[in-house]
Structure 1
């Protein structure tokens, strides 16, 4: 017969051992680190996508940019996507393997002139993405160029929206949507894709925030929420009549300590801003790459550079609004707590590891990032 002490020791050991599988199960259920590729504006284009008579009559001043985007699509974009594919391959065996590619809007140039040409442009852009064989789901938000021009909105709904839904469901089987505003959850992160061109989006985001349970909230919005660079009037809800909407958006993002991902200005910028009693971060990238071996220029580092002097980065842009843009910076500067900027294009790798989120930003097809920074707040 075992002694009482031996019996109690055996019972204690057995009870402790019985709890080990549960502990192991909880450890196995803990979200694993992951990464994703962040792409800025692409403006996929070809001259054959445009009704030139319509363009001349309605957007004649945009012909030169269409010619440039068409050239970059043919000559530079394939090399850029090859570099991204190589970066994805290098990350597959890392501690935070890549899960998807996220693009921030203006996938296409738009301005085609008809629903038929717009649909063709969209299909060819998606074919290019598919044929690039990145090996990851490709998710994106709506940009202004994606729905600009006669028939563009209809073509977006016909071609791009179903692709959005299909790719989102690969990552999150519960992700169902029939509009550009949608969410998906991956690991310990929720991604809210905000349609900046739908009047109901702010209320939608408020509802998403109210039901949030994920550790991290990423909000993908094509135009900036917080201005940066020379074009300080190009942020969301910039008009005086939209002041209440902007305040509400800022408060939601701050209270949620969100990470905003965007583009629109074709520059790199990272900042943090106080709002709603807390703070949020904003990261903007561009993928309109003019040269694979480009180097960053006009670099601005630190809060001391977040001033109205940013308007001098593009001295020819809207001289009649110079005073207004300086005043915007004077107001925003009171709440912005960190700031980075550079004129460059490429892509970023975002790494999510527990409470820490980091962005490594690449210029062109460079093998090493020109800047790595924390974006979690």
Structure 2
């Protein structure tokens, strides 16, 4: 009889847990690279970025054919409790060749997104967003005013903080990273239930281009160590893009633990799937730096970056992916659901913290 009662109690508890609803959910888009061929000065591309023309063609196809499908799927995740949608930088392809063309590119991206997403759409700065003549000025005078309208308050720079419920989202400018500012904001929001740092460049490498992470170039070791310590002390969760993959890493250092989530939202097909999946801390090794595109001193530096991080990696997941992730925020935890394309069910669910 006691066994039956215990079994019934366990089943009841399991049913309650399964039925538990999050306090709120936040859809998160990775690199988006909105593009149109006509928004590039051909002479500029031929002179400065000849290798990127095929990329521009591919991004234009992704933007016109598949991005609307993805945005429909994301819009389907928005409900009355959704505070905002986050985009992790490289909102646009950039490389336009003039301020006027970059203005048009930002306006086109905004128009495409806001036709579907009816809650605030919050963007962090990516390297492509500010690449090309007049691009930085366009970001400042076109994209930042858009963010101001979305938030209903002035946003004068790419560094800003959004509070929702008891949680804090710190948008951190990877292109011009100011560690003093970040440290101040982490301290000011230390009482937050969940603390997120939203940025474009990863902190912890997870793909062969390890030196495409924050403060990962040679000579930036002191700043990188300081950044790690700050995030550890804050028990933060980093949301990032840049490497066009889905990933989750939990890292434990001398000062505590932080986590990193990454996503990619450039769709190349109508039905994308995970590919080249790695899962488990044992897969996080310096060999991740190896690639035909990486040789000599650069390869050795990249291996050192992986070797330095490896002892602290407690959990690791990485996959080629094209879609979005859904943050589900509870009082006592955060879950991440990874969706490929327009799939109705998540392809991967991870308990983040």
Question: Residue 269 of structure 1 contacts residue 284 of structure 1 at CA under 8 Å; is this kept in 2?
Answer: yes
Question: Residue 292 of structure 1 contacts residue 366 of structure 1 at CA under 8 Å; is this kept in 2?
Answer: no
Q: Cα distance, 1:176 vs. partner?
A: 4.0
Distance 1:336 1:277 in 2: 14
Please say if 1:143 is aligned against 2:121.
no
Partner of 1:105: 89
Measured on the aligned residues, the alpha-carbon RMSD in Å equals: 1.5
Distance 2:170 2:145 in 1: 17
Out of 234, 252, 262, which is 2:230 matched to? 252
Partner of 1:56: 46
TM-score (norm 1): 0.85
Distance 2:207 2:59 in 1: 22
- Unpaired runs of 5+ residues, structure 2, are 1-21
Partner of 1:125: 109
Q: Cα distance, 1:372 vs. partner?
A: 0.6
Q: How does 1:11-22 map to 2 (within 5 A)?
A: none
Distance 2:156 2:27 in 1: 25
Q: Cα distance, 1:45 vs. partner?
A: 0.4
Please say if 1:87 is aligned against 2:64.
no
Bigger mean CA deviation after superposition, 158-167 or 100-109:
158-167
Distance 2:231 2:149 in 1: 27
Q: How does 1:143-292 map to 2 (within 5 A)?
A: 143-169=126-152, 176-199=154-177, 201-212=178-189, 213-275=191-253, 277-292=255-270
Distance 2:317 2:293 in 1: 21
Partner of 1:344: 321
Distance 1:325 1:52 in 2: 34
Bigger mean CA deviation after superposition, 324-333 or 348-357:
324-333
1:300-332 CA-to-partner distances (Å, cap 9, x unmatched) read: 0110111123235xx332233333322222221
1:55-80 CA-to-partner distances (Å, cap 9, x unmatched) read: 11111111111111011111111111
Partner of 2:8: none
How many pairs were matched up? 330
Q: Which runs of 4+ in 1 moved over 4 A?
A: none
Out of 73, 76, 80, which is 2:63 matched to? 73
3-state SS of paired residue (1:241): coil
Question: Residue 345 of structure 1 contacts residue 364 of structure 1 at CA under 8 Å; is this kept in 2?
Answer: yes
Q: Cα distance, 1:211 vs. partner?
A: 1.2
Out of 35, 41, 46, which is 1:45 matched to? 35
Question: Residue 336 of structure 2 contacts residue 350 of structure 2 at CA under 8 Å; is this kept in 1?
Answer: yes
